Structure 1
Amino acid sequence: MASMWRQLQHKSSAASQFLVKHGCVYYKQLLDQNQQYIAKEPTVEKCQELSKQLFYNRLASMPSRYKSFWKEVEFVKNKISNRQDLKIEEVGVAFLFTAECYAWFCAGEIAGRGFTITGYKV
């Protein structure tokens, strides 16, 4: 166990050294490649304008999202009506998706109660 711990320490040390050595270069390269997305004058007004643009662009995309949603609903209805033709892989993926959604719901409930199981704080 101690040798595994030392290996982990060595690997994390090597990773942090790599990050220190190459992090600034990567950061500068990333900013240079995406210069067109950086506001020249980062003022409050510019930020408000960009947030309004994002909001109205998302709002404008609602009709296409609505159509896509109903296509997905029709697809699921079709799969349910022809459930005898389902493959075991499709059933497994559906089960895992359902289990994940339920787990996130439970985790959200626990977090909402202050990370207690019963809701009572001691």
Structure 2
Amino acid sequence: MNLQLVNTGSSAQSLKDVEIRYWFDDSASSYTTWCDWAQIGCSNLTHSVSTNGTAAGANRYLKVNVTGGTLAAGASTGDIQLRLHRAYWSNLNEADDYSHGTASAYTDAPKIGVYSGGQLVWGTAP
């Protein structure tokens, strides 16, 4: 999965306490997440999978937290390249996941949530 955050505001924004949530539906009990590469540095990110109740297409979410830095007005974090898999390596079917999109280039993704200080600031939660 490739992500990037863009600051569309008119002032710089702190990235500390920013969390990205990609909601998906799966029944495995454990997952492994990887940051393959990030322009802002994989060491500036933490990532894990959390449960999300029983929402259709969204009983889990990949949680990506940015640990610091600032994003200037109009700037982007650049590529954040992540992988997610079941701990036992079987395939995931993303077809009806809440956050799954079909774009082949970066575009707005309103079903991927961005939180700042615990408040949803972008996207729509399931």
Which TM-score applies when normalising by structure 2?
0.19
Q: Which has the higher helix share?
A: 1
Higher relative contact order (CA 8 A, sep 6+): 2
Q: Which has the higher strand share?
A: 2
Which TM-score applies when normalising by structure 1?
0.19
